Amino acid sequence: MRADGRRPDELRKISFSNGIAPNATGSTLIEWGRTRVLCAVCAEDGVPRWMRDQSVGGGWLTAEYSMLPYSTLSRRPRDVSRGKIDGRSQEIQRLIGRSLRAAIDLSRAGDRTFWVDCDVLEADGGTRTAAVTGAYVALALAIKKMMIEGRISESPLTGSVAAVSVGVIQGEVLLDLPYVEDVAAEVDMNVAMTEKGEFVEIQGTGEKNTFPGSTLTSMVEMAKGGITQLIEMQNAAIKAPSVR
């Protein structure tokens, strides 16, 4: 039995609260178990200078990720107080950016940049997977609003993208690890995948032991099942009304 009573292949309770940041073009608060991440997208005219210099057409999408000081049990200093982004945050924001760029045709986005901000309000494992999953909902809401306002004539989105964690504890493959399981995992993996079943990224590590190919296959298959459920939740959330 898992610490919270779930089946091995069961996700934690997940909910979305849309419109939580009304000044953003699109936003949602994803609550994934006790992990909560505020995801917001701002669409601004113009693209990075490197795109203009290299005559690259279309738009651009980039992401920033931050764990707020009170998101963990002990206060976490802000990156600005250290004068640089820590390696973990940099890795995660790159994952978010790659994942969302796999879900949008930027050549159809026009001469604009989508800024994706993911701020962790509370962390209990799976903050990067929650950020990817919530950020897609925020992006879809932003596109929806832009179409209503006439800023774009057609959606550049090509399909959903979501992410989930999976791990091995005492030889058993488990889906969606909270912190108490994550720190005990013998093998830890994060999987990001589109609704077409195409992988954006698989990040897997043998934390305490090596593991055979059969375990890797089982982990990927369990992650795929979890992501299929997440995409259904995303689609429902995009259709739901805003909380403000």
Rounded Cα distance between 14 and 191, Å, is: 17
3-state secondary structure of 82: helix
Say what the pLDDT of residue 107 is.
92
Residue 88 lies in a domain: yes
Say what the pLDDT of residue 1 is.
72
What is residue 226's DSSP assignment?
H
- Residue 188: CB partners within 8 Å, gap ≥ 6? 165, 167, 177, 182, 204, 205, 207
Say what the pLDDT of residue 55 is.
83
Say what the pLDDT of residue 52 is.
86
Residue 151 lies in a domain: yes
Which residues in the chain show pLDDT less than 50? none
Q: What's the number of domains the chain is made of?
A: 1
Q: What is the pLDDT of residues 15-58, one digit of tens each?
A: 999 999 999 999 999 999 999 999 999 999 999 899 888 888 89
The number of residues making up the chain comes to 244
Say what the pLDDT of residue 217 is.
95
Say what the pLDDT of residue 242 is.
87
Name the residue range of residue 108's domain.
14-239
Rounded Cα distance between 121 and 36, Å, is: 5
Say what the pLDDT of residue 79 is.
78
3-state secondary structure of 185: coil
Say what the pLDDT of residue 15 is.
98
Say what the pLDDT of residue 87 is.
84
| Region for residue 32 given its phi and psi (left: phi exceeds 0; alpha: psi -120 to 50; beta: otherwise) | beta
Residue 9 lies in a domain: no
Regarding pTM above 0.85, the answer is: yes
Say what the pLDDT of residue 119 is.
97
Residue 244 lies in a domain: no
Query: Residue type for 91, please?
Result: E
Say what the pLDDT of residue 85 is.
78
Q: How far is residue 62 from each of residues 15, 89, 166, 197, 235, measured CA to CA in Å?
A: 25, 14, 26, 23, 22
CATH code of residue 225: 3.30.230.70
Residue 20 lies in a domain: yes
| Region for residue 196 given its phi and psi (left: phi exceeds 0; alpha: psi -120 to 50; beta: otherwise) | alpha
Contact 187, 168 (CB under 8 A): yes
